[in-house]
């Protein structure tokens, strides 16, 4: 079994952002299993956490940025590439400004930070996603294709990248095929730096970007090649494109195993491929859940929850992982009592009952903390409640509760419900732990 990994101790580096030029400090901190890679803007009045997820991508030219509300973190791809290349699964990345330091334009300084911190194996199985079918996205002449691995036992990502700037530029065409493991990433990909054509520099500066940079900070290609700089590899440009791709693919939330064929792609198309992979991944996850043996059947659920007909809204628990995560099922039939009065001509499940079903899953999750303590979890508050789709007779609700913080006195959970791969509802739910004889 391959285990999840984090770092042993905090490390930090300071520098100016590639695009904005703003000085900031970035600090890597160890994180718990299953927490993933999370950026934390510590310069805000209350620290703002932004998960490294494609859901949080904010549209930008020539870079990847993440957003939570009005708070943005610019140019995260090099930092994420270092984490992915070294197989770091869980990390809190604190940032004192709105852009990650550009350092030398590659991800090698971030790799060195992680190596300096040391890598810690964690007591949790590493979850990967293996490409199972051909997935293709394109935009004009740019294309990305994801394919299953050539070796079914492979645990690596293989990339074939065709970079073509045309014969009229000093970059020209560069093609590289590489199998990315720990050694090849550190040696052959991590040192490759950001590059730009000299003809593009003036336009970028007129747009307010990169005014602080000089020829030593970034590889600028003039008519005769790099200006006042030397390449680290003859084909450094295509290597950097692969570096960016590795970082962007990490926004899936799981390491990707398989083959990627890329032609002229950039960050925007990389994000589209991640979204397309996720659609397939979620369909496969949903199918697998529905056929697996339930973790808890209705008899065991009734021993945990105090609810009874018509308010017991969970039929079975498919997965439960300590106090971290629970996944359950609610089968919605035309015989539900609420359909008699809730839009009877075109019956839909009341939204408040969908929230109640998610809360019941949360109660089951928190019961793992409360076992043998004589307490039950009681709904305390709801926040960020959103409804995305109507639920009708015949639908099967998949209910997910994930813990943000759990103590003996309360719980804070992130919950959502889906039908198939469609999001139905989501909410942040807080619970208070109450003596069972008072409920």
User: Is the domain of 338 the same as that of 247?
Assistant: no
Q: Of the candidates 230, 259, 288, which is a domain's last residue?
A: 288
- Is 364 among the domain residues? yes
- 247-261: per-residue pLDDT in tens? 999 999 999 999 999
Can you tell me the mean pLDDT for 371-394?
85
What is the per-residue pLDDT for 174? Answer: 96
Q: Considering the domain boundaries, does residue 119 fall inside one?
A: yes
Same domain, 314 and 258: no
State pLDDT tens for residues 383-428.
Answer: 999 999 999 999 999 999 998 888 878 889 999 999 987 899 999 9
Q: What is the pLDDT at residue 344?
A: 87
Residues 265 and 370 in one domain: no
Give the residue numbers marked as catalytic: 267, 342
Q: Assess whether pLDDT exceeds 90 at residue 130.
A: yes
| Residue-level pLDDT at 205 | 79
Instruction: Decide if 166 is inside a domain.
Output: yes
CATH number, position 125: 3.30.230.20
Structural domain including 275 reads 3-288
Q: Give the per-residue pLDDT at 315.
A: 94
| 28 strand-pairing partners | 11, 93
Residue 366 lies in a domain: yes
For the chain, what percent of residues have pLDDT higher than 70? Answer: 96
Model confidence at 217, pLDDT cuts 50, 70, 90, reads confident
pLDDT at 109 over 60: yes
247 and 345 both lie in a single domain: no
The CA dihedral of 72, 78, 79, 83, to the nearest 10 degrees, is 130
421 and 393: one domain?
Answer: yes
The span from the CA of 78 to the CA of 12, in Å, is 15
> Residue 354: pLDDT band by 50, 70, 90 thresholds?
very high
Instruction: Single out the residue of 338, 313, 339 nearest to residue 328, CA to CA.
Output: 313
In the beta sheet, which residues pair with residue 341? none
240 lies in some domain: yes
Residues 133, 9 within the same domain: yes
Q: Check residue 216 and give its pLDDT.
A: 81
Q: What is the dihedral of CA 87, 91, 97, 102, to 10 degrees?
A: -20
Q: Is the same domain home to 146 and 237?
A: yes
CATH of the domain at 326: 3.10.129.10
For 351-369, what is the mean pLDDT?
92
If asked whether residues 88 and 210 sit together in one domain, one would say: yes
Do 54 and 9 share a structural domain? Answer: yes
Q: What pLDDT is attached to residue 429?
A: 95
Same structural domain, 250 and 312: no
**pLDDT at position 136 over 80:** yes
Kindly report which listed range (201-205, 315-319, 385-389) carries the lowest average pLDDT score: 201-205
**Nearest of 253, 21, 267, 49 to residue 137 by alpha carbon:** 267
Quick one: average pLDDT of 342-351?
Answer: 91
Residue 216 belongs to a domain: yes
Q: Give phi and psi for 209, each to the nearest 5.
A: -110, 140
Q: What is the mean pLDDT of the chain?
A: 91
Least confident of 7-11, 17-21, 96-100: 17-21
Q: What is the mean pLDDT of residues 167-173?
A: 90
Is residue 323 scored above 60 in pLDDT?
yes
Contacts of 214 (CB under 8 A, 6+ apart): none
Identify whether residues 190 and 122 lie together within a single domain. Answer: yes
Greater confidence, 345 or 116?
116
Query: What's the pLDDT at 372?
Result: 46
pLDDT band (50, 70, 90) for residue 438? low
**CA 420 – CA 287 distance, rounded (Å):** 9
Tally of domains within the chain: 2
Dump pLDDT digits (tens) for 67-77. 998 999 999 99
Shared domain for 272 and 323, answered yes or no, is no
Last residue of a domain, one of 268, 288, 308: 288
Position with higher pLDDT, 322 vs 435: 322
- Identify whether 67 is part of a domain: yes
Task: Classify residue 293: in a domain, yes or no.
Answer: no
**Residue with the larger pLDDT of the pair 190 and 199:** 190
Closest CA to 187 of 243, 141, 227, 137: 243
**What's the pLDDT score for residue 176?**
97
- In 3D, which of 175, 297, 210 has the Cα closest to residue 16? 210
288, 310, 342: which is the final residue of a domain? Answer: 288
Q: In the predicted model, what is the mean pLDDT of residues 320-337?
A: 91
User: How far is residue 56's CA from residue 347's CA, in Å, rounded to a whole number?
Assistant: 34
Give the pLDDT confidence score for residue 321 in this predicted structure.
84
Counting residues of the chain whose pLDDT is more than 90, the rounded percentage is: 72
- Of the ranges 145-149, 218-222, 283-287, 291-295, the best mean pLDDT one: 145-149
3-class secondary structure for the chain?
CCEEEEECCCEEEEEEECCCCCEEEEEEEECCCCCCEEEEECCCCCCEEEECCHHHEECCCCCCEEEECCEEEECCHHHHHHHHHCCCCCEEEEECCCECECCCCCCHHHHHHHHHHCEEEEEEECCCEECCCCEEEEECCEEEEEECCCCCCCCCEEEEEEEECCCCCCCCEEEEEEEECHHHHHHHHCCCCCEEEHHHHHHHHHCCCCCCCCCCCCEEEECCEECCCCCCCCCHHHHHHHHHHHHHHHHHCCCEEEEEEEECCCHHHHHHHHHHHHHHHHHHHHHHHHHCCCCECHHHHHHHCCCCCCCCCCCEEEEEECCCEEEEEEECCCCCHHHHCCCCCCCCCCHHHHHHHHHHHHHHHHHHHHCCCCEEEEEEEEEEEEECCCCCCCCEEEEEEEEEEECCCEEEEEEEEEECCEEEEEEEEEEEEEEHHHC
């Amino acid at each position: 079994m391959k285990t999840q990994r984090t770092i042993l101790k905090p490390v930090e580096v300071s520098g100016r952002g590639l695009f904005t030029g703003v000085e900031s400090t970035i600090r890597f901190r160890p994180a718990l299993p299953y927490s993933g890679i999370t950026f934390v803007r510590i310069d805000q009045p209350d620290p703002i956490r932004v998960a490294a997820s494609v859901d949080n991508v904010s549209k930008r030219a020539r870079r990847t940025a993440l957003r939570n509300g009005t708070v943005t973190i610019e140019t995260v791809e090099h930092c994420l590439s270092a984490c992915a290349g070294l197989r770091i699964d869980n990390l809190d990345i604190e940032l004192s400004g709105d852009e990650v330091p550009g350092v030398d334009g590659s991800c090698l300084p971030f790799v060195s930070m992680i190596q300096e911190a040391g890598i810690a194996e964690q007591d949790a199985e590493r979850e990967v996603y293996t490409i199972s079918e051909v997935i293709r996205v394109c935009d004009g002449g740019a294309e990305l294709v994801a394919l299953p691995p050539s070796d079914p036992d492979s645990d690596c990502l293989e990339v074939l990248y065709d970079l073509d700037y045309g014969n009229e530029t000093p970059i020209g065409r560069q093609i590289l095929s590489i199998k990315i493991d720990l050694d090849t990433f550190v040696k052959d990909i991590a040192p490759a730096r950001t590059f730009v054509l000299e003809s593009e520099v003036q336009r970028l500066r007129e747009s307010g970007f990169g005014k602080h940079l000089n020829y030593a900070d970034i590889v600028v290609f003039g008519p005769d090649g790099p200006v006042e700089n030397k390449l680290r590899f003859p084909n450094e440009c295509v290597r950097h494109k692969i570096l960016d791709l590795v970082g962007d693919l990490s926004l899936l939330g799981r390491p990707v195993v398989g083959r990627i064929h890329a032609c002229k792609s950039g960050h925007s198309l990389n994000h589209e491929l991640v979204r397309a992979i996720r659609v397939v991944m979620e369909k496969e996850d949903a199918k697998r859940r529905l056929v697996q043996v339930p973790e808890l059947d209705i008899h065991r659920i009734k021993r945990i929850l105090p609810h009874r007909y018509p308010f017991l809204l969970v039929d079975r628990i498919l997965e439960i992982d300590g106090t971290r995560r629970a996944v359950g099922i609610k089968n919605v039939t035309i015989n539900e009592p609420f359909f008699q009065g809730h839009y009877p001509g075109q019956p839909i499940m009341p939204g408040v009952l969908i929230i109640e079903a998610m809360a019941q899953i949360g109660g089951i999750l928190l019961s793992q903390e409360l076992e043998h303590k004589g307490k039950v979890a009681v709904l305390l508050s709801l926040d960020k409640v959103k409804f995305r789709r109507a639920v009708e007779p015949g639908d099967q609700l998949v209910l997910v509760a994930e813990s943000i913080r759990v103590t003996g006195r309360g719980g804070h959970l992130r919950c959502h419900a889906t039908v198939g791969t469609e999001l139905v509802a989501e909410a942040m739910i807080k619970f208070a732990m109450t003596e069972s004889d008072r409920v």
